[in-house]
Amino acid sequence: MASIDRRRFLKSAGVAGAGSAIAAPAIAQGSPEIRWRMPTSWPKALDTLQGGADYFVKLVAEATDGKFQIRTIAGGDAQIPALEVTDAVSRGTVEACHTAPYYMYATDPTFAFGCAVPFGLNGRMQNSWWLDGGGEALMNAFYAKYNIYGLLAGNTMAQMGGWFRKEINTIDDLKGLKMRIGGFAAAVISKLGVTTQQLPGTDIYQALEKGTVDAAEWVGPHDDEKLGLQKVAKFYYYPGWWEGGAMIHVQINKEKWEALPKTYKAILRAAAAQAHNQMVGRYDALNPVALKKLLASGTQLRPFSESILDACFKAANEVYLDFSAKNEDFKKHWESIKAFRADQYLWLQLADHTYDNYMMIQQRKKTL
């Protein structure tokens, strides 16, 4: 069974050739042995994000009969801080990393387009933009300035709005709040009076528990429960307007990428694509189960009001205009995303969203 799966994977990677019956071991025999390190930005406990990294390297090893081995290093490693793994790849300290590109927002806000931007694309749209809307070419042209090559390798899909110690009923309730929030979203929500911190996942629980922050966002029900955030904050808000979908990348040192044989490049691409699909599927399967557990344990679910979302949307557009005037790379990516977003919502409101809205009404009526 293992060899059959491996041949199927190699064909999907485009390395077996049309109609070819070449077995994986035959391909592997002429390939070099390679050993890479891949630090991640995730705690070991997260079987979605860290699990996605581990699944990716497993696929690569299996497809090459063990010739290409990549060792993951979970976030929190003392030698490479979880939010600095991209820097390590850029410098060549390590060969690759598994991360959310917006952690490099402070270096250049353009990095955020490789992950998530406020009121941007949802996860399905991001996949389409990356694969067929010019996103991959745009991001990798930008990445090249930092000696990086990127592969889309996962998506959390739409995220939650985070955990709060008190209710947020009006926009004024945000003023003076201390919040853990990552990436570009910090620049937007700070315009509304929030003091922001970007902390790795491993530090969020302690920061909430000690009162270093009053609120924190991470991902969604499954991951948030794994981190125990429901134990230190009561109110759980939605939606995470800053992350309608969050793309996860395998970032590779560009020189190391270019030195790879074509077969290995194809295998890495196929492994990243499969890891992406698996992560999306896992989140969709696990989040409803975790949400029910959270609600049963006393978590108070709350929506952000439309007036709060309107204020955040206005602030986000102001930040987009400001950054676009100062940063040509940012402007180029934003114009691409904005045009793509308009067309996507033109179409999806007729098809998927109309269907989904009707089915959600049936769910509320308990007819499903």
- The per-residue pLDDT for range 171-222, each reduced to its tens digit, is 999 999 999 998 789 999 999 999 999 999 999 999 999 999 999 999 999 9
pLDDT at 6 > cutoff 80: no
pLDDT of residue 78: 62
pLDDT at 252 > cutoff 80: yes
In a domain, 118, yes or no: yes
Contact between residue 95 and residue 253 where contact means Cβ atoms under 8 Å apart: yes
In a domain, 199, yes or no: no
In a domain, 310, yes or no: no
Q: Looking at residue 131, which CATH number applies to its domain?
A: 3.40.190.170
Instruction: Classify the phi-psi angles of 356: left when phi > 0, otherwise alpha if psi is within -120 to 50, otherwise beta.
Output: alpha
In a domain, 335, yes or no: no
Count how many domains the chain has.
Answer: 1
Domain interval for residue 9:
2-157+245-285
Distance between alpha carbon 196 and the CA centroid of its chain, in Å? 20
In a domain, 146, yes or no: yes
In the three-class reduction of DSSP (H, G, I as helix; E, B as strand; rest coil), residue 320 is classed as: helix
45-69, pLDDT tens digit by residue? Answer: 999 999 999 999 999 999 999 999 9
Confidence of residue 29 (pLDDT cuts 50, 70, 90): low
In a domain, 43, yes or no: yes
| Percent of residues, the chain, with pLDDT higher than 90 | 89
The conformation of residue 252, written as its DSSP 8-state character, comes to E
pLDDT of residue 187: 93
210-236, pLDDT tens digit by residue? Answer: 999 999 999 999 999 999 999 999 999
Question: Residue holding tokens 């705690």?
Answer: 43
Six token digits for residue 162: 């985070």
User: What is the Cα–Cα distance from 296 to 290, expressed in whole angstroms?
Assistant: 10
pLDDT of residue 76: 72
In a domain, 169, yes or no: no
In a domain, 177, yes or no: no
Closest of 121, 125, 102, 120 to residue 112, by C-alpha: 102
